[in-house]
Amino acid sequence: MNSKVDNQINELLQKMSIREKIGQLNMTVTPKTEAEFERTREKLRNGDVGSMILASSSTAGLDPQERVNTAMCNRVQKVAMEEGPHGIPLIYGRDVIHGHRTVYPVPLAIAAAFNDELVKKAYRYTAIEATSVGIHWTFAPMIDLCRDPRYGRIIEGPGEDPMVGRHMARAIVEGFQNGDVAQEDSMVTCPKHFIGYGASEGGRDYYRTEISDYSLYNYYLPAFREAIEAGSDTVMSSFNDINGDPVSGSRYYMTEILRDYLGFKGFVVSDWGAIAFLKRLGVTESESECAELGIHAGIEIDMCDDIYVRYLEKLIEEGKVSMETLDNAVRRVLEVKFKKNLFENPYCKMPEIDRTEHLKCARELASECMVLLKNEDNVLPLSKDKKIALLGPLVHEKRALLGSWCLEGKAEETPSFYEAMVEAVGKNHLITATDPTGLYDDSVRAMYQADVVVLALGESEKVTGEKRSLADISLPNYQIELIRKAKYSGKKVIGVFFCGRPIAMEGVADLLDAVLYAWHSGSEAAGAACDILFGETVPSGKTAITFPRNSGHIPMYYNATSNRYNGYFGNNSETSYEDSIAAPYYPFGYGLSYTEFAYSNMQSDCAEISVDDLKNGKKVKCSIDVSNVGEYEGKETIQLYIHDVAGTYMRPFRELKDYKKLLFKVGETKNITFELGYDELGYYMPDGAYVVEEGNIEVFIGPNCFAKDKIVLKVV
């Protein structure tokens, strides 16, 4: 902060009463009715509120939410500015998770695009739309590493890989912030949920986690470190405990790790009710103790609990919380309000937004994240003169395509798969059935009348997101039954899966000739899927999350420590299970194209490098030739993995360290070079110290985590 702002904050702190200071730490919901407005006005006059959430319940991602009432926001802000004790503006926050009115794919799908620039662009457009209705602050990016597809919230984050998490964190934060949050169309970001929430045991929401320090530093923290380095000004604390220590009451996690270790300087907001939740978690017996624990842990803003406004003043009187603690917390909140320029520019001017480019970007991102998982005998792309039986429960669906955590997107503006197919090939080429499940005779008749069967399968957004976990990730039986019937028709059968999470593909993909994993891909999901089916777009998505064979394999992730003899990479008799093949159904990084890529001639510019040289910034260049040997122009994501052969601690058999997504013309060969330096070749010890150790490091480059081309680098 510059000294002018420092002085302004000091002056404010001198003038403010204890009650008014505590008010800055209190977030409430925005009023909707006149009666609520009057009650809020009273609170604002007393200085009891510092921020507002634009949501009507704690599970905004599930319930239909009212649209933002910008006129009301401006009215309330006017009260804060003109009738509040010191003219301190409110900051308005909302869960803007994967788009606003234009909805982009759910974040787990976005990660599969492996296209940071496109992701950044999508979030830039998102910020432009969201700020146009008065939202200053987004509760995003959600960057919880997660290995359990049963967990409903897996769809909100980047998946199982810390490096993908870092890339997503940076792209999203940079997109929202646009280099300067003071701009009217930039948003303050809030990486969440700090920390470990994605590790909820059994995929149950709001549940316990066991995370060793080694895992914390190597897997869970990197994305947050990246978001903070990219300039995030706020962080949200999580509901879970780690090893019995509830994070939202933990000074260790919220101050020692977040501030002292990661260098975070902004303010922390609790998750909705997470401070009061400490009592339910059994570490306090009263709400007053919750408030004491929360503020001492380092949570500045209490989201919708009223716990700070009810108890902090007394705790200060009793000497249990110091004025210094309170002042520091208020200072951090005010700093962000100044940084967002809210004192100068508190009101929303409601600019008109032209969404043409935003929708184009939604189509492009949806196309790039869809993953072609199977394409036997090159059944895809389809030619447009075929008669297509178009069946399945998601044929006419609109809302599910938008995914969970879609507060502003409109189902009625979203083309269904049927509508997009009509647009692509015309009604005359489509044969549909009247029953939604496709199980009755007219669906069977449709299959026999057609040249090819396209099934729209998947899951509702209602079984994904917050509080929406599943015990079993299998496709529901009635959908499997439909696939079987289609298979028995003897026609080629293509499954298009509109899902949030990976589902168990064993016994499903085997029955299909082609599998396009279309995810819950937002406003343009259906159109993008059609573009791929008919070859207008060549698929290029690669899954950023493992597809386990069945629920019993969970958790299954590619970067587990030394799993080369058992499971994922195992290729011998010591398999994990007697009743199942050990390998994943589709591995991390996997995805097909209509064209084919050949990898050859992997090299490095040195075989040996010293730790000192690495520390001094020297890098090793690793290169490979990639050729498009197929018949289509297409994009490939070239992935570089390492394996530290012998570490002081066991290292993963493969760790993604970098990737490049590039377009290749037919017949084109490109020499792709990656650089590996100090930051790529080491790892974190359980005490958080980063080390690069001497020894051999295998470097792999290829199309997925089973990359075969390899060189060995010796670190001395």
Site for ligand BGC (CB under 6 A): how many residues?
10
H-assigned helices in 493-636: 525-533, 611-615
The region of 52-60, 174-182, 396-404, 496-504 touching ligand BGC under the rule CB under 6 A is: 52-60
Residue 450, SS3 per DSSP: coil
Q: Indicate the residue among 95 and 313 with the shorter CB distance to ligand BGC.
A: 95
194 binds ligand BGC (CB under 6 A): no
Residue selected from 217, 272, 311, 547 as contacting ligand BGC according to rule CB under 6 A? 272
CB of 32 to ligand BGC, least distance (A): 16
User: Are 621 and 666 contacting, i.e. CB atoms less than 8 angstroms apart?
Assistant: no
CB of 705 to ligand BGC, least distance (A): 29
Q: Compute the distance between CA of residue 134 and CA of residue 124 in angstroms, rounded to an integer.
A: 15
59 binds ligand BGC (CB under 6 A): yes
The region of 53-61, 144-152, 168-176, 696-704 touching ligand BGC under the rule CB under 6 A is: 53-61
341 binds ligand BGC (CB under 6 A): no
Residue selected from 58, 102, 367, 559 as contacting ligand BGC according to rule CB under 6 A? 58
Q: Indicate the residue among 93 and 567 with the shorter CB distance to ligand BGC.
A: 93
CB of 497 to ligand BGC, least distance (A): 26
Q: Is 271 a catalytic residue?
A: yes
226: its two tokens: 């990246």
Q: Indicate the residue among 139 and 684 with the shorter CB distance to ligand BGC.
A: 139
Neighbours of 175 (CB within 10 A): 24
Which of 271, 302, 513, 644 is catalytic? The answer is 271
Residue selected from 144, 160, 271, 513 as contacting ligand BGC according to rule CB under 6 A? 271
60 binds ligand BGC (CB under 6 A): yes
Longest dimension (CA), the chain: 80
User: Are 556 and 568 contacting, i.e. CB atoms less than 8 angstroms apart?
Assistant: yes
The region of 13-21, 51-59, 522-530, 660-668 touching ligand BGC under the rule CB under 6 A is: 51-59
Please give the single-letter amino acid code of residue 373: L
Q: Indicate the residue among 194 and 418 with the shorter CB distance to ligand BGC.
A: 194
Q: Which residues pair with 711 in a beta bridge?
A: 699
Touching ligand BGC, residues 667-706 (CB under 6 A):
none
CB of 86 to ligand BGC, least distance (A): 27
CA distances (Å), 418 to each of 125, 137, 414, 427, in order? 27, 36, 11, 9
192 binds ligand BGC (CB under 6 A): yes
144 binds ligand BGC (CB under 6 A): no
Q: What are phi and psi of 527, to 5 degrees?
A: -65, -40
CA distances (Å), 564 to each of 266, 557, 567, 583, in order? 42, 12, 7, 11
Cα-only R_g, the chain = 26
CB of 60 to ligand BGC, least distance (A): 4
Neighbours of 605 (CB within 10 A): 12
State the pairing for strand pair 234-236/267-269: parallel
The region of 57-65, 122-130, 330-338, 566-574 touching ligand BGC under the rule CB under 6 A is: 57-65
Q: Indicate the residue among 139 and 597 with the shorter CB distance to ligand BGC.
A: 139
95 binds ligand BGC (CB under 6 A): yes
139 binds ligand BGC (CB under 6 A): yes
92 binds ligand BGC (CB under 6 A): no
DSSP single-letter state for residue 276: T
Q: Compute the distance between CA of residue 656 and CA of residue 587 in angstroms, rounded to an integer.
A: 13
Q: Which of 590, 564, 704, 571 lies closest to 644 in space, CA to CA?
A: 564
Distance between first and last Cα of the chain: 43
User: Are 529 and 115 contacting, i.e. CB atoms less than 8 angstroms apart?
Assistant: no
55 binds ligand BGC (CB under 6 A): yes
CB of 644 to ligand BGC, least distance (A): 35
Please give the single-letter amino acid code of residue 36: E
CB of 516 to ligand BGC, least distance (A): 30
Q: Indicate the residue among 299 and 626 with the shorter CB distance to ligand BGC.
A: 299
Q: Indicate the residue among 173 and 456 with the shorter CB distance to ligand BGC.
A: 173
207 binds ligand BGC (CB under 6 A): no
Q: Which of 244, 160, 327, 215 lies closest to 688 in space, CA to CA?
A: 215
Handedness of CA 162, 167, 170, 172 (dihedral sign): negative
Q: Indicate the residue among 53 and 602 with the shorter CB distance to ligand BGC.
A: 53
Q: Indicate the residue among 465 and 539 with the shorter CB distance to ligand BGC.
A: 465
What stretches of 387-520 adopt beta strand conformation (E)?
A: 388-391, 430-431, 452-458, 492-498, 514-517
Q: Compute the distance between CA of residue 139 and CA of residue 100 in angstroms, rounded to an integer.
A: 13
19: its two tokens: 């009650």
267 binds ligand BGC (CB under 6 A): no
359: its two tokens: 């929708």
Touching ligand BGC, residues 463-482 (CB under 6 A):
466
CB of 247 to ligand BGC, least distance (A): 13
Give the residue nearest to ligand BGC (CB).
139
Neighbours of 555 (CB within 10 A): 18
CB of 398 to ligand BGC, least distance (A): 24
Please give the single-letter amino acid code of residue 293: L
Axis-axis angle for helices 323-339, 3-15 (nearest 10) = 130
The region of 55-63, 72-80, 492-500, 632-640 touching ligand BGC under the rule CB under 6 A is: 55-63
CB of 144 to ligand BGC, least distance (A): 10
Q: Compute the distance between CA of residue 569 and CA of residue 146 in angstroms, rounded to an integer.
A: 20
CB of 208 to ligand BGC, least distance (A): 16
Q: What are phi and psi of 498, to 5 degrees?
A: -100, 95
Q: Indicate the residue among 137 and 674 with the shorter CB distance to ligand BGC.
A: 137
Which residues are identified as catalytic? 271
> Interface residues with ligand BGC (CB under 6 A)?
55, 58-60, 95, 139, 192, 271-272, 466
